[in-house]
Amino acid sequence: MTAPDGYTAQHADEDEALHQEEALQGRPYELAVVQHGGLFRDLISDKLGIASFIFLVTLIAAAALAPWIAPESPTQGNLSNAFASPVWHGGTWRNPVGTDWQGYDLLSRLLYGARTSLIIGVLVVVLAGTFGVLIGLLAGYKGGRADRWLMGWVDVQISFPGLLLAMLLIALVGGSVLSVTIILAINGWMVYARMTRGVVLSVRERPFVEAAEMMGCRPRRVVFHHILPNLSTPLVTLAVLEFARIILAEAALSFLGLGIQYPTVSWGLDIARAGDHELFGNQWLIIYPGLLLSLTVLSVNLLSSWLRVAADPQEREKRFASRASGTVSGAAGGGGAGL
Amino acid sequence: MAEPLATEPKSVHTTAPHVEVRGLSIRFPVGRSGFWGGTTRYVHAVDEVSFSIGRGETLGLVGESGSGKTTIGRAVLRRIEPSAGTISFRGDDITTTKGKQLRELRRHMQLVFQDPYASLNPRKTVLELVAEPLIVHGLALNPKDAREQVADLLHRCGLPADTVDRYPHAFSGGQRQRIGIARALALRPEFIVADEPVSALDVSVRAQVVNLLQDLQQELALTYLFIAHDLSVVRHISHRIAILYAGRMVEIAPTHAVYDNPMHPYTEALLSSVPIPDPPLQRERRRIVLTGEIPNPVDPPPGCRFQTRCPLVHDRCHGETPKLEEKQPDHLVACFAR
Amino acid sequence: MNSVNAAPSLANPAEKEAPLLEVDHLEVQFFTRRGTVQAVRQVSFSIERGETLGVVGESGSGKSVMAQTLLGLTELPGRITGGDVRWKGESLVHDASATLARVRGNEIAMIFQDPMTSLNPVFTIGTQISEVLRRHLGHTRKQALVRAAELLDLVGIANAAARVKQYPHELSGGMRQRVLIAMALACEPELLVADEPTTALDVTIQAQILDLIGDLQRELSLTVLLITHDLGVVAGLCNRVAVMYSGKLVELASADDLYANPAHPYSAGLLRSTPRLDVVMPRLVSIEGTPPDMISPPPGCPFAARCDLAVTECLEEMPGLHTYPDGRKVACWRAFEVGRG
């Protein structure tokens, strides 16, 4: 039952951990992990996790509702109102976070920028993830020549500089949400393929997969019904991390002028443009888009680290036990260490 | 080199072999050697193994780790490609059967796994697990029919009716093995390879599973290849027993002959290694404790594979490979010393 | 729920000298999200110097969890919630970090089921054994290597001088277990705890390792605690046998007595279901049913639901571990009644 693959050895995945635990108790396990209520209760007890969660939910809601809640259009303004200060620097409520060098409302630009970032992030994760997972499943399950060719493709593409590719493509098709999405997806699917292949290689050797094959399941059914569900935990964790990376990558591309182009709004583009136009005295033009970008990426990372712990039943059990055994010994008053 | 079995060991139930393996050799590549990496090195997992199993018979296949017992089991089910030799099922050569025909063939041959924990997908209910073979082969008319068939299979394997909607985690090892057997039976196979079906179970429940397999054999006229790593449990289910050592068959005989009159020195050692739960007897027992190491399967020495540990080894064993010969009626042994 | 029926007869006044190891009303619980698992419940026994005690039980009996407490290896989610383990009178449970550091490896050594995971794959076995010698006994590098070769020789590894330079993956399973035994013996421990030492090994190798443990026990006058699920393994090796079921000690007797005349129905059932090579049975015998859920164990005897002899009393009240005139300890309301009817 030992997994030959280094990857799964680390990510002792769900049921393997359950299995170990059973060996420990010698008793069947009533699938507590499947009850998602417990998962949410865990999140609440993790302060950083819940803060990140609330921040992201607010951001997503604000981005979705941007056309209705933004004070002004992000691309219309009055030059006479340029460089208005935020409210807390003596500005007016008309432009709560101030305006930029063209008199555009900064809050509106931040909201629409969030829209761009999140849309690109989600689209890229879905596109790159789907493609990468399919390639990984194919390579891992088929093995042999298919595996060598597909992984060779992955290696070649990983060794090709992504920025160069981006410059080339943007020069050809021009920068837009669509082109940036496609470029980032082309650059980002390999990591899914590699990880998927690694997990498939070890899951494929597990007896229940052989059992499915013995029953006469066709390859497609074996892969999607029996192997893929075992990938959910590592894939979700990877996708969340990739989402954060994509948001940063989009901002970086846009900052360099290789991504989103005016008049579409992007945090990266705003930071670059603010730098071009009168930095001194108007730092908020850089600080607020930058802050929002950093907070978003930080929140996603914190949430993913919570997710990683929460999805590992052994780790959850350990956390639970350290709490429970503490309370019990305290309540018993047996002179134990207590908490 | 394959020594045809001169006389077919008579089975209790029938004459024509249900499953027959002739001169089966399996080797796996393990990297390359030579200056340009031109010579591929092989692990000789199975070497020239022949046996047959009659309809309704149980052949116990006994060997320690590295003996090739699991590999043989998988090769008979056509899950591992043999390097040489033939496999026949119901009189037809199935060594090269492919695609749709192979899938059809597999309906009649099933596998019971060693590990009742790892062989049941933890994310599926018992209903889904046992109904899956019915669904993929189109043997269930509708969900209701599938449910009824599953309930019948579970009942037959001694599981209560409320089992169907629960997950495997809710069951003990013995109960899970019953679920695994129910699943294997769903396609109404004729031949079952049982790969150490009780070695992962607690001693007190092993007999439940062995007895269940025996009862099912009676009811459904099943043919078993029962793989085991020692001689303790196989005695009670096998009609005949074959002993493997380092990829070769060293002895094959009716069960009582293996226990009452073991002829290969390895069989003797294997028998005397199983401890007897009786302290005075166990203390007094003359035991053959083997020394020496099992030969490297990549570069096995010429001659008998057991030569490195054999208490009866002599010159001939180093150069010449002993052939499986009928030393007594139905009792075949591969040893120069006997 | 356990306190009502605490073992009544543990403190035997006849025993004057403190035993080598004493397990006293030990309780270990596992705190899981599903509930608190009562892994070890009020287990008491002692080991005398020079004896070999076998602890037999199936999965979930608590035998391995109990063994881990002897070396302070209990880890979350497990926790010792009651009782004590005393080594020559010193507690290994309460304020025991200093005692444990001194005792562990030096006076009590342990070998485990899986010899591969207990060895570090990147160091030669010589390095790994001499590491123990240098840390615990302050040997120099040279001394340690010489001693390592001697130890390998002691555990029956031929050509020990060459073997010290090999890596764990170059050795067979049986060899690795020998290496681990050599490591365990490096500091000349007084007690060797062997937790399923042969379960991962082939039968012919198992026979070798059991012989080795027996020989070492005699030659070095070692005290051995052998934990196993297999009554056969215990038979040739142990003086006394403790049978555990569902976290409870159900019977403790001399090996000869236990096998010849098991007093607890579970011991008897386990013995009946262990297949014997020397007896032909038309059909194997098993104990029907499965062990109880350890999160909410039944109020009565944990074996009652599977026991042929169970009466109402068995279902309602937990039998204490009672010492009988012949020195046997049995926790059963109907002890010695097996096989009478």
- pLDDT band at B37; cut points 50, 70, 90: low
On whether residue A43 sits in a domain, the answer given is no
What phi-psi label fits residue A261: left (phi over 0), alpha (psi between -120 and 50 degrees) or beta?
A: beta
Which is nearest to B275 in space by CA: B210, B207, B203, B338?
A: B203
Q: B251 by DSSP, 3-state: which?
A: strand
Query: Is pLDDT of C98 > 90?
Result: no
Residue span of the structural domain in which A307 resides: 55-326
Query: Is pLDDT of A20 > 80?
Result: no
Which other chains touch chain B, taking contact as 3+ CB pairs less than 8 Å apart? A, C
pLDDT at A120: 92
Mean pLDDT of B286-297: 78
pLDDT at A279: 61
Instruction: State the Cα–Cα distance between residues B21 and B53, nearest whole angstrom.
Output: 9
Instruction: State the Cα–Cα distance between residues B173 and C229, nearest whole angstrom.
Output: 15
Tokens of C119: 């060895």
pLDDT at B24: 94
Domain count, chain A: 1
Tokens of C95: 């304020």
If one counts every other C-beta atom within 10 angstroms of the C-beta of residue B284, the result is 9
On whether residue A135 sits in a domain, the answer given is yes
For an interface test with B, the pick among C172, C177, C203 (most B C-beta atoms closer than 10 Å) comes out as C203
Q: Chain A contacts of C291, Cβ < 8 Å?
A: 26-27
Burial bucket for residue C305 (CB in 10 Å: 0-12, 13-18, 19+): middle
If one counts every other C-beta atom within 10 angstroms of the C-beta of residue A108, the result is 25
Q: What is the pLDDT of residues C264-275, one digit of tens each?
A: 999 999 998 888
Q: What is the pLDDT of residues A185-238, one digit of tens each?
A: 988 899 999 999 999 998 888 899 999 988 888 889 999 988 988 888 889 889
Q: Is B275 on the interface with C (CB under 8 A)?
A: yes
What average pLDDT does chain A have? 77
On whether residue B174 sits in a domain, the answer given is no
Residue span of the structural domain in which B246 resides: 17-108+189-333
Query: Is pLDDT of B179 > 90?
Result: yes
Single-letter residue type at B73: G
Query: Is pLDDT of A280 > 80?
Result: no
Half-sphere exposure of A7 (CA within 13 A, CB side): 14
- pLDDT band at B83; cut points 50, 70, 90: very high
Q: What is the pLDDT of residues B134-161, one digit of tens each?
A: 999 888 888 889 999 999 999 999 888 7
On whether residue B129 sits in a domain, the answer given is no
Cα-based distances in Å from A114 to A93, A94, A249, C38 = 21, 21, 14, 52
Query: Is pLDDT of C192 > 70?
Result: yes
If one counts every other C-beta atom within 10 angstroms of the C-beta of residue B42, the result is 16
pLDDT at A16: 39
Q: Chain B contacts of A218, Cβ < 8 Å?
A: 136
pLDDT at A39: 62
Residue of A nearest to B102 (CA): A216
pLDDT at A77: 74
Inter-chain contacts counted by CB atoms under 8 A, chains A and C: 64
CATH code for position B237: 3.40.50.300
pLDDT at C337: 83
pLDDT at A325: 65
Query: Is pLDDT of A338 > 80?
Result: no
Tokens of C151: 């130890």
Domain count, chain B: 1
Find the CB nearest A29 among B132, B169, B183.
B169
**Are C208 and C181 contacting, i.e. CB atoms less than 8 angstroms apart?**
no
Burial bucket for residue C6 (CB in 10 Å: 0-12, 13-18, 19+): middle
Instruction: State the Cα–Cα distance between residues A183 and A164, nearest whole angstrom.
Output: 11
Query: Is pLDDT of C183 > 60?
Result: yes
pLDDT at B200: 86
Highest mean pLDDT among A89-93, B7-11, C270-274, C279-283: C270-274
Instruction: State the Cα–Cα distance between residues C196 and C55, nearest whole angstrom.
Output: 10
Q: Chain C contacts of A325, Cβ < 8 Å?
A: 29, 31, 76-77, 79, 81
What share of chain B in percent tops pLDDT 90? 46
Query: Is pLDDT of A15 > 60?
Result: no
How does B149-170 read in b/e, with b if 16+ C-beta sit within 10 Å?
bbbebbebbbbeeebbebbbbb
Beta-strand ranges (E) seen in B109-268 are 109-112, 191-195, 223-228, 240-245, 248-254
- pLDDT band at C36; cut points 50, 70, 90: confident
Instruction: State the Cα–Cα distance between residues C326 and C329, nearest whole angstrom.
Output: 9
What is the separation of C-alpha C60 from the centre of its chain, rounded to a whole number of angstroms?
13
What stretch of H or E contains C259? helix C255-260
Cα-based distances in Å from A187 to A74, A133, B318, C206 = 30, 14, 61, 55
Mean pLDDT of A315-337: 55
Strand order in the sheet with B84-89: B39-54, B17-33, B84-89, B92-93
Q: Chain B contacts of C211, Cβ < 8 Å?
A: 287, 289
pLDDT at B169: 83
Instruction: State the Cα–Cα distance between residues C9 and A141, nearest whole angstrom.
Output: 62
On whether residue A335 sits in a domain, the answer given is no
If one counts every other C-beta atom within 10 angstroms of the C-beta of residue A57, the result is 11
Tokens of B304: 């008998």
DSSP code string of B91-126? TEE-TT--HHHHHHHHTTEEEE-S-TTTTS-TTS-H
Which is nearest to A208 in space by CA: B140, B70, B176, C59?
A: B176
Cα-based distances in Å from B59 to B55, B214, B238, B250, B329 = 11, 13, 5, 15, 17
- pLDDT band at A38; cut points 50, 70, 90: low
ipTM: 0.84
Instruction: State the Cα–Cα distance between residues A10 and A213, nearest whole angstrom.
Output: 27
Query: Is pLDDT of C135 > 90?
Result: no
Residues 197-226 of chain A whose Cβ lies under 8 A from any Cβ of chain B: 206-208, 210-218, 221, 226
Single-letter residue type at A17: A
Tokens of B94: 């199935």
Query: Is pLDDT of A65 > 60?
Result: yes
8 Å CB contact of C290 and B235: no
Tokens of A62: 């604000």
Instruction: State the Cα–Cα distance between residues C144 and C125, nearest whole angstrom.
Output: 12
**Are C27 and C236 contacting, i.e. CB atoms less than 8 angstroms apart?**
no
* Closest CA–CA distance from residue A229 to any residue of chain B (Å): 8
How does C167-205 read in b/e, with b if 16+ C-beta sit within 10 Å?
ebeebbbbbbbbbbbbbbbbbebbbbbbbbbbebbbbbb
Mean pLDDT of C97-126: 85
For an interface test with A, the pick among C2, C25, C28, C34 (most A C-beta atoms closer than 10 Å) comes out as C34
8 Å CB contact of A28 and B172: yes
DSSP state of A322: H
8 Å CB contact of A325 and C295: no
pLDDT at C77: 80
Q: Is A329 on the interface with C (CB under 8 A)?
A: yes
Q: C62 by DSSP, 3-state: which?
A: coil
Among A149-153, B170-174, B194-198, C23-27, whose mean pLDDT is lowest? B170-174
Find the CB nearest A32 among C34, C65, C79.
C34
Instruction: State the Cα–Cα distance between residues B55 and B60, nearest whole angstrom.
Output: 14
Which is nearest to B215 in space by CA: C289, C288, C283, C287?
A: C283
**Are C263 and C335 contacting, i.e. CB atoms less than 8 angstroms apart?**
yes
If one counts every other C-beta atom within 10 angstroms of the C-beta of residue A145, the result is 8
For an interface test with B, the pick among C51, C64, C202 (most B C-beta atoms closer than 10 Å) comes out as C202
CATH code for position A97: 1.10.3720.10
8 Å CB contact of C202 and B289: no
Which phi and psi angles does B134 have, rounded to 5°? -65, -40
Q: What are the contacts of C93-98 at 24+ separation with CB within 8 A? A: C93/C69, C96/C72, C97/C72
Among B127-131, B217-221, C170-174, C208-212, whose mean pLDDT is lowest? C170-174
Q: Chain A contacts of C115, Cβ < 8 Å?
A: none
8 Å CB contact of A32 and C39: no
Q: What is the pLDDT of residues B257-275, one digit of tens each?
A: 999 999 999 999 999 888 8
Residue of B nearest to C212 (CA): B289
**Are C290 and B201 contacting, i.e. CB atoms less than 8 angstroms apart?**
no
pLDDT at A103: 76
**Are B266 and B310 contacting, i.e. CB atoms less than 8 angstroms apart?**
yes
Q: B186 by DSSP, 3-state: which?
A: coil
Mean pLDDT of A269-288: 76
On whether residue A166 sits in a domain, the answer given is yes
What average pLDDT does chain B have? 87
Instruction: State the Cα–Cα distance between residues B159 and B182, nearest whole angstrom.
Output: 9
Query: Is pLDDT of B252 > 90?
Result: yes
* Closest CA–CA distance from residue B274 to any residue of chain A (Å): 25
Q: Is C255 on the interface with B (CB under 8 A)?
A: yes
pLDDT at B99: 84
On whether residue B320 sits in a domain, the answer given is yes
Query: Is pLDDT of B7 > 60?
Result: no
On whether residue B258 sits in a domain, the answer given is yes
Mean pLDDT of B3-29: 67
If one compares A263 and A109, the residue with the highest pLDDT of the two is: A109
8 Å CB contact of B207 and C285: yes
Q: A242 by DSSP, 3-state: which?
A: helix
pLDDT at A334: 34
On whether residue B164 sits in a domain, the answer given is no
pLDDT at A3: 34
8 Å CB contact of C32 and A318: no
- pLDDT band at B10; cut points 50, 70, 90: very low
Find the CB nearest A1 among B103, B118, B167.
B118
Find the CB nearest B279 among C204, C255, C275.
C255
Among A99-113, A138-152, B231-245, C236-250, whose mean pLDDT is lowest? A99-113
